Amino acid sequence: MKVWIKLLIGAILGIALGHFAPDNQKFMDSLVWLERFVLSIGRYAIIPVLVFSLAISIYELRQDGQFWPLVIKNLLLIAGISMLVIGIGVLATLAFPPSRIPIMADEQLDVIRLDVAENIKDLFPYNMFSVLAGEGVYLFPVYVFAFFFGMGLSYDKSYSKPIISITDSLSRIFLHISSFIIEILGFIMIVLSAYWMIRFKGVLQAGIFFDLICLLWIIAIVLGFGILPLFLYFIRPKINPWAVLYGSLGPAIAAFFSGDINFSLPVLIQHTKENFGVRRRSNVVSMALFSTFCRAGSAMVAAVAFIFIFKSYSRLGISFSEVMSIGVRAFLISFLLARHPGDGAYTALTVLCVGYGQGFEAGCLILKPMAFFLIAVGTFLDVMIASFSAYAIARLNGYVIEEKSMKHFV
């Protein structure tokens, strides 16, 4: 059975379970514990996969003389697609503004901030190996470690040749372990989607977020299943973008119900390799860069939500300069969410509210009950962007081994 079908069946079963679940605090506490447990299972092998796969990929790209050109092309695409996605979200919100909701921010504001200085400091801990013993939340230091490891493999072939072989073998071994975990994600998805559905029921019963939910659904569907695949038409020789979309369904389902980009990364790496034939050297480098710097989907959701809050707070219209300010802030925040793999959209929204000031500091509390939904939509778009972009970069640079037919997709 294909992975995306397993995930879809698990999601459907979980949604049914969540819909008919008892309104019982003990049951909810158990589900919260189970959610944390299954998320840990999904992220279990991610650090060794990234360390060894990224290191050997950097080494191979350096041997080809293509490492820095590939990195630059990825970063340029990240900047361009971030502007596009955030711009589309902002324009859609202005064209179809959701109705206002009553102000309910009577809770204490969560202390959420993007401590850029601390994040940079953590890239180089006192002990180089300590990044491998972390919790697997902030992966950027792991990428830095893998970068120097990969660079070091080119030092002297007479010394590094045995280590190159070992690193390559470990990369393949841990990718195989990761593939085994992916095979059982259908069961994990039952827990994640059940907990998601219980919270979604509560949001629907509140009855005041319906317009925003519909708007975000529409934006996500149009972007994820329409606009982003259509850009693949510009790649030559011509390809079928809908085949690429079909091959991305597994990561999309995993991203939406987990809301965690680190949980989705193993599925994403496997699908781009097995479905699209993207070579490891291009695939892993692109995934590392996009998962770290391209959180455009989460930033776009935050921008849409902030405009919604702005209109709920103020009866005055929103000016062009304010729209531009929100868009630019969201664009900059999209590069700074590496430490927030599981709450990117809500973190971005909180930072937008606090940074904008003028009485909007606690505005994010209006949408706190539906934070999980904002995170789900944002992560879904982040993963779809990474999937399409990794394939496009590999195709344009000759790193696709073979074009596979859809019947051979995993």
Phi, psi of 264 (to 5 degrees): -85, -20
Rounded to 10 deg, the angle between the 371-396 and 344-356 helix axes is 110
Return d(Cα 113, Cα 115) in angstroms, integer: 6
Residue 104: CATH number of its domain: 1.10.3860.10
| CA-based torsion, 386, 391, 396, 398: positive or negative | positive
The Cβ of residue 174 has, within 10 Å, a number of other Cβ atoms equal to: 20
- The count of residues in the chain is 410
- Helix-then-strand count for the chain, H and E: 18, 0
Which tokens in the block code for residue 129?
């190996």
Integer angstrom CA distances of residue 58 from 70, 289, 357: 10, 13, 43
pLDDT at 108: 57
Q: What is the pLDDT of residues 224-249, one digit of tens each?
A: 999 999 888 887 778 888 889 999 99
DSSP-H helix ranges across 334-398: 344-356, 371-396
Q: Are 86 and 381 in contact (CB under 8 A)?
A: no
Quote the tokens at residue 99. 């109705």
pLDDT tens sequence across 320-346: 888 899 999 999 999 999 999 999 999
Domain hosting residue 273, numbered range: 3-408
Secondary structure (3-state) at 278:
strand
d(CA 326, CA 226): 25
| Cis-peptide, bond into residue 229, ω within 30° of zero | no
pTM: 0.94
Q: Report the candidate in 85, 41, 355 with the shortest Cα–Cα distance to residue 226.
A: 85
> What is d(CA 58, CA 62) in angstroms, rounded to the nearest whole number?
6
pLDDT computed for residue 107 by the predictor? 54
The pLDDT score that the predictor gives to residue 104 is: 60
User: From residue 408, how far is each of 265, 280, 325, 404 by CA, in Å?
Assistant: 21, 19, 46, 6
pLDDT tens track for 89-135: 999 998 888 777 766 655 555 667 788 888 899 899 888 888 888 78
Number of domains, the chain: 1
**pLDDT averages per 10-residue partition of the chain, 410 residues:** 93 94 86 93 93 95 93 96 95 85 60 80 89 86 95 84 94 94 94 95 87 94 92 81 92 96 95 91 95 96 92 76 92 94 93 81 84 96 96 91 79
The DSSP 8-state label assigned to residue 400 in this structure reads B
Alpha-carbon gap, residue 236 to 226, rounded angstroms: 19
Position 316 scores a pLDDT of 67
Euclidean distance between the first and final Cα of the chain, in Å?
A: 8
